[in-house]
Amino acid sequence: MAAELTRSSKTTDQGCGYKLIREAGPLELLTHLYHDLGIQSNVLVFAEYTKDGQLLTKSRILKALAVVINDQSALSIIGISQPSVKKEGNHRLWEARLPALRIQDCVEFLEIQGNLNASQVFENAHNQWFDTKDATKPWWKVIIINGRYVMFVFHHSIGDGLSGYAFHRSFLAALNANEALSETMSEITSENTFAIHQPPKMPTASPFDHINTKVSWIYVIYGFLFWSIMRFFVNQKHFFFSDALFPKEYPTFDRPFPVEIKTRTKVELLRIDSEIMTRCLAECRKHNTSFTALLHTLIQVTLASDIYPNAKFGFSRLAVNLRPLLKVDPGRDVFTNAVSTYYRVHPLGRYRAYAWGRTSSSASSPTQEMSIDAPKMWELAKTYKRDLNHATYKSGVVMQDFLICKIFDGDMEDVSFFGHGLYQNNSFLISNLGVFEPRENMHEGGWSIKDIGFSAGAIRATLSDFGMVFNVASVKEKDCLISAVYEEGVLKDEMVKKVLMAVLKRIKLLI
């Protein structure tokens, strides 16, 4: 491990400094550049807390956060640019630790009148960018809304979506640990800062440190040739999202997107109530598949039959949690970036054939004429689940797609975004965090989470899917919330809403 070096920031106004810990890994570098160049803003996990009709008070929140900050070492980590040791004039990203966090930098209290518009709340959070040039501020924020909702917003370099679950597990446990809360008042100093315990925990080791497999260059070359041929020989109109509108500019380290044209995120939410989810999950088990595989199938069917009837091929991506595949599983209660992507290309003929009937052109009733071939639909979902398991546990394809990220390991100036869209344009992505569950050893203090949502800011269309990203989260035996995220102006808002409503309608037809 590299020796820790102390630096003082020029913007420090309360004696805050930082200590360099280690060189950042390739995923941290990539997500850092995504943020600083204006490509993608942040990630959030939103939860509703409840306890006998009580509200979360400011005092209780700050006490709990003091515990969480020392429980999760990643919350005191920021990224710092350092001179490259490879090439003069270049820069390398390092991870650094802050010794204290000012409350005003990481906690915000909001009061919203009337019914909460969660879509608007998500959008507002996504369209606020962290000031990563100020080396005294953390790369996360907790927003408390009406004393009931806790929204954890964080820079992707800190962790993936499952890291957001880790935050809420830690926060919930802290709320219910009365003894710990009473002892942590001393952690909040007179200067309104959260002190970090010394010596603090080291950040979780990089997932790359716990993988035996090496990058297969044959696989890399094969993938590049496959997608190049696909893009060259198949007309754009035969893909999903062929009507997407977006500028073609690429940012560089020297020419980031200016503030006024940074990626703006749009969010549409679909809530599947607990009764429907219970029945749906039972049917998934009955048909030897998963809700994620079913959701993939229904999105594919909806896009092929309702939105793009002339498309020939459907591109899809699925976020896959790699934690169980590492030599050392860090567990679910830590912050890390350990998610790969499962890519698929499907001919759309059979998907379209199994969606009997078309949605009505009426905007007020877009699914009134819908019907489906249920047995065939379940068979498609079962096949997708089987293929996913093979790619994850047998062929090693999912791990190879993660290891490709090592190509970006190096100086910031050397990272090029040209060609990113080759693999991702015209696709949709599903990222399902699964069911949120509290810590097993949590003290039963009465606070619980009754609702949860997950959303990641849209990635610049020209570099990514320019389709929709479906972020999924749920609480056991409660509602499931799907956040459909896309870049503002790239897709029509009504089309996104139509897709979500059609997916829900097809779920109801299947169960």
C-alpha distances in Å from residue 369, one per residue of 196, 238, 275, 297, 373: 59, 25, 24, 19, 14
Burial 359-391 (b: 16+ CB within 10 A, else e): beeeeeebbeebebeeebbbbbbbebbeebeeb
Q: Are residues 290 and 160 in the same domain?
A: no
CATH of the domain at 385: 3.30.559.30
| Interval 440-461: pLDDT, tens | 887 777 899 999 999 999 999 9
Question: Which of 45-49, 58-62, 199-203, 217-221 holds the top average pLDDT?
Answer: 45-49
Predicted confidence at residue 466, as pLDDT, reads 86
Q: Are residues 391 and 505 in the same domain?
A: yes
Burial of residue 358 (number of CB atoms within 10 Å: 0-12, 13-18, 19+): middle
Give the domain-ending residue among 180, 202, 224. Answer: 202
Question: What are the backbone angles phi and psi of residue 136, rounded to the nearest 5°?
Answer: -110, -5
Beta-carbon-side half-sphere exposure of residue 403 (alpha carbons within 13 Å): 18
pLDDT at 11 over 80: no
Beta bridge mates, 7: 18
Rounded Cα distance, 348 and 428, in Å = 14
pLDDT at 3 over 50: no
- What mean pLDDT is reported for the chain? 89
Burial of residue 251 (number of CB atoms within 10 Å: 0-12, 13-18, 19+): buried
Beta bridge mates, 45: 152, 454
Q: Are 427 and 30 in contact (CB under 8 A)?
A: no
Give the domain-ending residue among 186, 202, 218. Answer: 202
Q: Are residues 189 and 312 in the same domain?
A: no
Percent of the chain having pLDDT more than 90?
73
Rounded Cα distance, 352 and 358, in Å = 10
Does residue 222 lie in a domain region? no
Q: Are residues 182 and 303 in the same domain?
A: no
| Interval 374-419: pLDDT, tens | 999 999 999 999 999 999 999 999 999 999 988 888 899 998 887 7
Number of structural domains, the chain? 2
Q: Are residues 57 and 144 in the same domain?
A: yes
Residue type, 465: D
Give the domain-ending residue among 147, 170, 202. Answer: 202
Q: Are residues 190 and 296 in the same domain?
A: no
CA 301 to chain centre: 24
Does residue 252 lie in a domain region? no
Tokens of 67: 């515990």
Angle between helices 374-393 and 291-302 (to 10 degrees): 120
Please identify which residue in the block is written with the tokens 């997932």.
207
Does residue 167 lie in a domain region? yes
CATH of the domain at 160: 3.30.559.10
Write out the H or E segment, with its range, that includes residue 173: helix 161-175
Angle between helices 291-302 and 274-286 (to 10 degrees): 100
- Mean pLDDT computed over 217-223: 92
Tokens of 228: 């190049």
Predicted confidence at residue 331, as pLDDT, reads 87
Does residue 442 lie in a domain region? no
Q: Are residues 190 and 55 in the same domain?
A: yes
Does residue 247 lie in a domain region? no
Is the sign of the CA dihedral 334, 126, 30, 76 positive or negative? negative
DSSP letters, 270-306, are EEE-HHHHHHHHHHHHHTT--HHHHHHHHHHHHIIII
Does residue 441 lie in a domain region? no
DSSP letters, 416-430, are --TTHHHHHTTEEEE
Rounded Cα distance, 485 and 453, in Å = 13
Q: Looking at 105-109, 136-140, 387-391, 406-410, which range is the least confident one?
A: 406-410
Name the E strands within 381-479: 427-436, 448-456, 469-475
Does residue 12 lie in a domain region? yes
Q: Are residues 197 and 300 in the same domain?
A: no
Tokens of 484: 């459909």
The strands making up 43-50's β-sheet, listed across from edge to edge, are 107-110, 140-145, 149-154, 43-50, 448-456
Confidence of residue 201 (pLDDT cuts 50, 70, 90): low
Q: Are residues 171 and 57 in the same domain?
A: yes
Per the structure, the complete domain to which residue 349 belongs is given by 267-328+336-406+426-435+452-511
Give the alpha-carbon dihedral of 243, 248, 250, 256, to 10 degrees. Answer: -100
Tokens of 48: 């509703």
Q: Are residues 188 and 322 in the same domain?
A: no
Rounded Cα distance, 23 and 190, in Å = 34
The strands making up 5-8's β-sheet, listed across from edge to edge, are 5-8, 17-23, 91-97, 77-83
Does residue 259 lie in a domain region? no
pLDDT at 488 over 60: yes
Would residue 33 be called left, alpha or beta, if left means φ above 0 and alpha means ψ between -120 and 50 degrees? alpha
Q: Are residues 166 and 63 in the same domain?
A: yes
Q: Are residues 276 and 195 in the same domain?
A: no
Rounded Cα distance, 5 and 27, in Å = 23
